[in-house]
Amino acid sequence: MVMRRALLFGRFQPFHLGHLNIVEWALKLGFDEVVLLIGMASENYTPRNPFTAGERIEMIRLSCTDKGIPPSKTITATIQTLETSIGSVYYVLSYVPRVEAILTRNPVISKIFLDAGIKVVQPPLFNREEWRGETIRRKIAKGDDSWKKAVTPSTASFIEEIGGVERIRWMHAGD
């Protein structure tokens, strides 16, 4: 049996409800599995990438569990920071199981994956203004607890347990 897999590539800083809704949408669309490829896995403890790859993997698993998505429906992988080029497509594909499509709205990413023969599926936007990593990190930095509405309850608890709130506030102390 050939698995129908879609690739969702992102930094997931943090993994939020927008990402989770894309996973759920892709599964409803008929994909058997969604491969979540964590980009910039080698960068952490920076304002743009405060969480480690391992922390992001855990957020993905917690979020999917909260939503009732079985672990068998997702595959998580990591990859270092890459430049955007046709060559990097083949590099990315070497880090994940075979995929039928990539889920992206980025026109450059779409073009290079199309040129490599990978189908591009454009997911809908899910509450983009609120469910956006930059917005969530900014709210955390400012002490605005409404950031918790943009992630699942288990993910919010996890971010607090690992000191993620303090980490982000510390990184943005001079802003």
What structural domains does the chain harbor?
5-171 (3.40.50.620)
**Is residue 31 helix, strand or coil?**
coil
What are the beta bridge partners of residue 9? 37
Residues 6+ apart with CB under 8 A from 19: 8, 10, 12, 36, 60, 63
Tens of pLDDT, residue by residue over 150-169, are 999 999 999 999 999 999 99
> In one letter, which amino acid is 116?
A
Tens of pLDDT, residue by residue over 1-29, are 567 999 999 999 999 999 999 999 999 99
Alpha-carbon torsion, ordered 74, 76, 82, 87, to 10 deg: -60
